[in-house]
Amino acid sequence: MESVSLFPFAEYWGFYLGFITFVLILLLVDLGIFHREAHDVSFKESLTWSIIWISLALLFNFLFYKYALWKFAEDAVLMAIPGFDPETAAKQSALEFLTGYIVEKSLAVDNIFVFVVVFSFFGIPSKYQHRVLFLGIIGALIFRIIFIALGSALLQYHILVIVFGVFLILTGIKILFAPEKPIDPEKNPVIKLFKKFFKVTPNIEGQKFFTKKEGMLYATPLFIALLFIEVSDIIFAVDSVPAIFAITKEPLIVFTSNVFAILGLRAMYFMLADVVNKFKYLKYGLGLVLIFVGLKMTWLNEVFDGKFPITLSLLIIVGIITGSIVFSLLMSKKESKE
């Protein structure tokens, strides 16, 4: 059962295609209708969009459960496996999606810290930030597809599962104990390399990423901010993609949960940008989550006959994240009083 893929690409390529089409339509509606004109995104607007994106993810999860239940019952190969139960497998898949979504959503908070620093560093006005994040998310989706495809191929080998698990444990320990280093976009090697080949305007040029001056092409600070955000997402993907593969081995679940977490990232940024510093203890929760999923890959799955219970995983992850958020808010309130 463990070696059988519930969602083989050869049979579910139509599902992937339909899902990608659905996502592209959502993005076109978002940019083409609701954000056609550059404007400051209010807390109310960002809260509304956050609720919409989370609701869409939960609705998809429910429909995914129904779809999986129907497909599993129709699959002769799966039904021929002794002890296979379509309902149990469908529930397991839905819980894996939900757990993966929560993990990715939590790890995305790190991206928000980066967004705040980058937009402040380059002096990007709030009304142009949505445009940068929109294109940043398009790039993030492309890079995640590449990372997920690589992860799906590499994690077929048990030794690499152990390597990635150890990497997640070490990353979690580093988050817990290593001192934070301030983010300095100017010292980023990619930004430095880019500036060797392109001149950059000192000021914002409206919504433009590039502009021409005296016949020469210049990049604007808007594009440099976008470039730094893309580079940062690649770095974050190195942690987040193996983390979700610790939850599920199904690339389809990894892909869909990743996409929904990324889609809601812009709205979450505009909602939390002004208060994100109040969650300074959340990083310790994220560190513990990475250690936990690393332990799942290296040890816990084997202890539980190849599969650590997904319900227990969900409870542990939600408990850690909720606890770190509550503790952050309590400590922030206490420090404000003092």
Residue-wise pLDDT for 123-157, tens only, equals 888 888 888 988 888 888 898 899 999 999 988 88
Please determine, for residue 321, whether its predicted confidence score (pLDDT) is greater than 90: yes
**Encoding tokens for residue 9?**
């690409």
Q: Is residue 194 part of a domain?
A: no
Cα(47)–Cα(130) distance, integer angstroms: 14
Q: Give the chain's mean pLDDT.
A: 89
Nearest to 152 by CA among 61, 288, 290, 250: 250
| Per-residue pLDDT band at 187 (split at 50, 70, 90) | confident
The single residue listed with the structure tokens 């995104």 is 41
Give how many domains the chain has, as a whole number.
Answer: 1
Whether 245 and 292 have beta carbons less than 8 Å apart is answered as no
Tokens read off for 68: 């999986």
Which residues share a beta bridge with 210? 219
For residue 132, what are the domain limits? 9-178+241-337
Residues 6+ apart with CB under 8 A from 45: 270
For the chain, give the percent of residues with pLDDT over 70: 97
Model pLDDT, residue 314 = 94
Q: Is residue 221 part of a domain?
A: no
Tell me whether residue 186 is in a domain. no
Which structure tokens are listed for 273? 């940008």
Residue-level pLDDT at 3: 58
Query: In the β-sheet with 199-200, what is the strand arrangement from edge to edge?
Result: 199-200, 216-219, 210-213
On the question of pLDDT at 1 being above 50, the answer is no
**331 part of a folded domain:** yes
334 against 158, higher pLDDT? 158
Beta strand pairing status for 216-219 and 210-213?
A: antiparallel
Flag whether 167 is in a domain.
Answer: yes
Q: Is residue 87 part of a domain?
A: yes
pLDDT at 2 over 60: no
Q: What is the mean pLDDT of residues 303-307?
A: 83
Question: Looking at the domain assignment, is residue 116 inside a domain?
Answer: yes
Q: Is the distance from CB of 256 to CB of 17 less than 8 angstroms?
A: no
| Cβ atoms of residues 283 and 172 within 8 Å | no
Q: Where does the pLDDT of residue 261 fall: very low under 50, low under 70, confident under 90, or very high at 90 and above?
A: very high
Mapped onto helix, strand or coil, the DSSP state of residue 212 is: strand
Asked whether residue 304 is assigned to any structural domain, the reply reads yes
CB 260 within 8 A of CB 170: no
Distances from the Cα of 315 to the Cα of 99, 102, 256, angstroms: 9, 11, 21
* Across 249-262, average pLDDT: 94
Is the Cβ–Cβ distance between 64 and 97 less than 8 Å? yes
Nearest residue to 194 via CA among 230, 219, 229, 222: 219
Name which of 30-34, 99-103, 176-180 the model is least confident about: 30-34
Q: Write 190-195 long-range contacts (CB < 8 A, 24+).
A: 190/227, 190/228, 190/231, 191/224, 191/227, 191/228, 191/231, 194/219, 194/224, 194/227
